[in-house]
Amino acid sequence: MPAPRTVLLTGAAGGLGTLMRDLLPDYGYTLRLLDLRPVEGEPDAVVADLADKAAVREAVRGVDAIIHLGGISLEAPFEKILKANIEGTYNLYEAAREEGVPRIVFASSNHAVGYNPRPRGDTPLDPSALIPIDAPRRPDTFYGLSKSFGEDLAQFYWDKHGLESVSVRIGSCFPEPTSVRMLSLWMSPADGARLFHAALTSQEVGHTVVYGSSANTRLWWDLSTARALGYKPQDDSEPYAEKLIAEQGELQDGNEGHAHLGGQFVTDPPIWPY
Ligand code: NAI
Ligand code: 15L
């Protein structure tokens, strides 16, 4: 596929969208922005609900690829998740198919596989102890269920319609890690942009599922499918470890919220810090 130039970024007003609006133009992309809310400083952004099929179809028309970040990013009542994440993602894929957009990078989440046990062992973990990319889907929330659906939708649109996707099971992409768990899952914003760029430009991805994080010393999962796209992570959360562990303590074996990949999302209700 030729290198994409114009990329639709959904969820452009959100935390990750704001970080990517800053970083992705350095890779030569022109971004078209979409969000439910106005995007600060971006009067040309499309303000639309992913539930609005006509608006979504118009927004995808003429773009070379899509980075789909838009939707509810935490646990919420099922009816809300259904509308924004399940129907919204379906509307986007269907519009992309109708308009001939060849590739979507889908922001999946660690919470699609959140009930997998947290790997144990000395740091750094032996590669054989890392959570593999074919670990079973075990969503930890309605939110995680919607990401599992999104991955299936991506596979379906590849198998049936030849629309390519990379589903990125993002760990925690924030300017800095804010919990001990995030030391294992953190994706620095710069590595996030590197990974999205690799997902947009790698040849013949079909539907590829990758974990999305930096090359953290305390890594819990296998980054090999991301690396196979050409992703070369350059950051590590370790400089934040001493301070976070002093403030919060090490993860505890007897604590339910520390037992799984999804952290406190497995508890009911999910509690901060994740
Ligand atoms: P966020 O909540 O800050 O941003 C999401 C954006 O989507 C918001 O600006 C919101 O207005 C917009 N949105 C919500 N419903 C919409 C709808 N119906 N139509 C159009 N826009 C809608 O979330 P964040 O952190 O920026 O995450 C972006 C994406 O990445 C989300 O899909 C999230 O699930 C995923 N993700 C993020 C992680 C992270 O560490 N930031 C980790 C794993 C996944
Ligand atoms: C996610 O999927 C959320 O969107 C994000 O806000 C963080 O909570 C992240 O997972 C995490 O697990 O740290």
Q: What tens digit of pLDDT does each residue of 64-79 get? A: 999 999 999 999 999 9
Contact predicate 214/119, CB 8 Å: no
Residue 258 has a CB neighbour count (10 Å cut-off) of 17
pLDDT band (50, 70, 90) for residue 53: very high
Q: Which two tokens stand for residue 79?
A: 């009816």
Angle at 29 (CA atoms; ends 23, 34), nearest 5 degrees:
80
Q: SS in 3 state form for 43-103? A: CCCEECCCCCHHHHHHHHCCCCEEEECCCCCCCCCHHHHHHHHHHHHHHHHHHHHHHCCCE
Got the DSSP string for 95-147?
HHHHHT--EEEEEEEGGGGTTSBPP-SSSSPPGGGSBPTTPPP--SSHHHHHH
pLDDT mean across residues, the chain: 96
User: Which residue's alpha carbon is at the smallest distance from atom 13 of ligand 2?
Assistant: 172
Catalytic residue among 29, 93, 143, 274: 143
Q: Which two tokens stand for residue 19?
A: 């970080």
Render pLDDT for 126-141 as a digit per residue (tens, 0 to 9): 999 999 999 999 999 9
DSSP 8: E
Angle between helices 53-60 and 88-99 (to 10 degrees): 50
Q: In this predicted structure, what is the pLDDT of residue 271?
A: 67
Q: What is the mean pLDDT of residues 241-263?
A: 94
Q: What's the CA-to-centroid distance between 194 and ligand 1, angstroms?
A: 19
User: Which residue's alpha carbon is at the smallest distance from atom 29 of ligand 1?
Assistant: 69
CATH number of 6-266: 3.40.50.720
Q: Is residue 143 annotated as part of the catalytic site, yes or no?
A: yes
Render pLDDT for 141-154 as a digit per residue (tens, 0 to 9): 999 999 999 999 99
* Tokens 């030849």 found at: 162
Domain ranges of the chain: 6-266
Q: Give every CB contact of residue 132 below 8 A, 6+ residues apart in sequence.
A: 221, 222
Q: Give the binding-site residues of ligand 1, using a 6 Å CB cut-off.
A: 11, 13-17, 35-37, 49-51, 69-73, 84, 88, 107, 109, 170, 172-174
Is the pLDDT confidence value at 208 over 90?
yes
